[in-house]
Amino acid sequence: MEEQHKQNTNIVRDIIIGMSDGLTVPFALTAGLSGVLDTNHLIIVSGLAEITAGCISMGLGGFLAGQSEAEHYDAELKIEHKEIEDVPFIELKEVKDIFSELGVDKKLSKQVALQVSRNKNK
């Protein structure tokens, strides 16, 4: 039986943060308008317009943030691949040091780093 992993586990968090942030401005707007205007219809329409604009703005902001994060990751990955080709011994030392910092024995961390570097296509 293959182990299942959840995808997009941050979506609930993003929805909650977006809703709490996105509902603050419409409530403040409608509260302010209700003190100035006498007609409920205009207050409701203004609140709905603000909610719609906030949803579009927050959605686009989240999308663009995700896109820029993915582009940053891809750029860093290209840099690492180039460094593996240009300065393999420095990159091998970085991997060995990472394993050592995680508590792996120095001799074993060197062996693991060498083994990982041999399987770069897997």
Please tell me the pTM assigned to this model.
0.56
Residue 55, pLDDT score: 78
> Given CA atoms 82, 84, 86, 92 in this order, what sign does their dihedral have?
positive
Q: What is the pLDDT of residue 7?
A: 66
Spell out the domain ranges in the chain. 1-73, 87-122
pLDDT tens series, the chain, 122 aa: 676 766 666 777 777 777 777 778 888 888 888 888 888 888 888 888 888 888 788 778 878 888 898 999 999 999 988 888 888 888 888 888 888 899 988 889 888 888 877 755 54
Task: Please state, in angstroms and rounded to a whole number, the distance separating the CA atoms of residues 43 and 32.
Answer: 9
List the one residue out of 58, 56, 53, 63 whose CA is nearest residue 20: 58
